[in-house]
Amino acid sequence: MGKPKVVLGVSGGIAAYKACELLRRLTESGHDVRVVPTASALHFVGAATWSALSGHPVSTEVWDDVHEVPHVRIGQQADLVVVAPATADTLARAAHGLADDLLTNTLLTARCPVVFAPAMHTEMWEHPATRENVATLRRRGAVVIEPAVGRLTGVDTGKGRLPEPAEIFEVCRRVLARGVAEPDLAGRHVVVSAGGTREPLDPVRFLGNRSSGKQGYALARTAAARGARVTLIAANTGLPDPAGVDVVQVGTAVQLREAVLKAASDADAVVMAAAVADFRPAAYAQGKIKKKDGQEPDPIVLVRNPDILAEISADRPRPGQVIVGFAAETDDVLANGRTKLKRKACDLLVVNEVGERKTFGSEENEAVILGADGSETPVPPGPKEALAEKVWDLVVTRLN
């Protein structure tokens, strides 16, 4: 099999320079990339750069190399088209099926998955015309990544920033792996919690756990690549924001509960992959707790934290919502998982074994997904993304 063929469409925005990094990641990971810039994109990064980095000639118009019919061939032969950055103008032309340059011709002839990574000023992103164009493209099966929030051109900040190239690359990788499968979470809002809560004892110390957040981030990334609007509630992770995902940072279990309940009010699915502390210190010492000569330390009194998973499973903030929990077990893994599923009353419970160096922080996971309907789906050892995809497969079945 030859290298997967990727078309990188680049439209005319200042973020075009970031597409060079995306191009490099795609070529270095074994993809054959053809860059198709718009004429305005070349005001920001010249054809020589795209050509040198991709190893292919670069053209913006349908009139070059006419005998090779590039306006049809490039799209027909592609395994993936990614447009990054996608300006408001390019989204509009794509949504309306215009074909006035090589990129829009390519988009019309492509039968492979298409990913748009928009970048523009917040006002343009929020304009009803752009909203409708994005909705049209999503309805037709394209993955339109939500822009990031942050510094835009000049002094402006807001939503509209191109996500980091490494994260756009992850979306491309996931979409390519799924092939022509429909983005089956398009139009859905999903909430994922990730990481481990920290319950402060004093300004210096906390009670915490070993969760890195990798499993939750894999769930967020894979959901975004399947077209979902994703809210990721991240507790103490320190991981880069996945592309197209709204990230809400929290610290404690109480903060996590607040953020999950707020986001869950209009969510189609909630997946609780975060390791949430069951208890927190009853009192918070304003100053660092000191050791006292000749005295035993004071015992730490704990109080219970709210059980967020049990609460949303019971209340279902939105009717028909699918609720997924995780169970981190060290012994009697499946038996404890089955008991936990009943107690938490969620629809699916992903039971995984954990230990000091098992599952926490690793790139891989292995689990059995228990269903409230009595189903048991084993997921063999593999990347956390593979487990995440399986979770979404089961969620999609229940949503439909």
Q: List interacting residues with ligand PMT (CB under 6 A).
A: 211-215, 253, 272-276, 278, 305, 307-309, 325-328, 344, 352, 354, 359-361
DSSP 3-state of 106 = helix
**Comparison of 130 and 321: residue with beta carbon closer to ligand PMT:** 321
Catalytic one among 209, 236, 352, 365? Answer: 209
Min dist CB 178 to ligand PMT, Å, is 22
**Comparison of 50 and 326: residue with beta carbon closer to ligand PMT:** 326
Q: Which residue shows structure tokens 């609780």?
A: 272
Q: How far apart are alpha carbons 6 and 32 in whole angstroms?
A: 6
**Comparison of 141 and 208: residue with beta carbon closer to ligand PMT:** 208
DSSP 3-state of 81 = strand
Min dist CB 374 to ligand PMT, Å, is 19
Q: How far apart are alpha carbons 358 and 345 in whole angstroms?
A: 26
Min dist CB 181 to ligand PMT, Å, is 25
Min dist CB 309 to ligand PMT, Å, is 3
Rounded to whole angstroms, what are the CA distances from 377 to 12, 163, 337, 363? 47, 34, 13, 20
Residue 325 makes CB contacts below 8 A (sequence gap 6+) with 272, 309, 313, 340, 341, 344, 346, 348, 349, 350
Rounded to whole angstroms, what are the CA distances from 280 to 137, 275, 360? 46, 13, 21
Min dist CB 333 to ligand PMT, Å, is 11
The H helix count followed by the E strand count for the chain is 14, 19
Closest to 140 (Cα-Cα) out of 85, 91, 207: 91
**Comparison of 82 and 234: residue with beta carbon closer to ligand PMT:** 234
Sign of the C-alpha dihedral computed for residues 149, 104, 108 and 61 taken in this order? negative
Instruction: Specify whether 105 is catalytic.
Output: no
**Comparison of 185 and 327: residue with beta carbon closer to ligand PMT:** 327
Q: How far apart are alpha carbons 50 and 27 in whole angstroms?
A: 12
**Comparison of 46 and 355: residue with beta carbon closer to ligand PMT:** 355
Min dist CB 234 to ligand PMT, Å, is 10
The span from the first CA to the last CA of the chain, in angstroms, equals 35
Give the residue numbers annotated as catalytic, written as ranges: 209
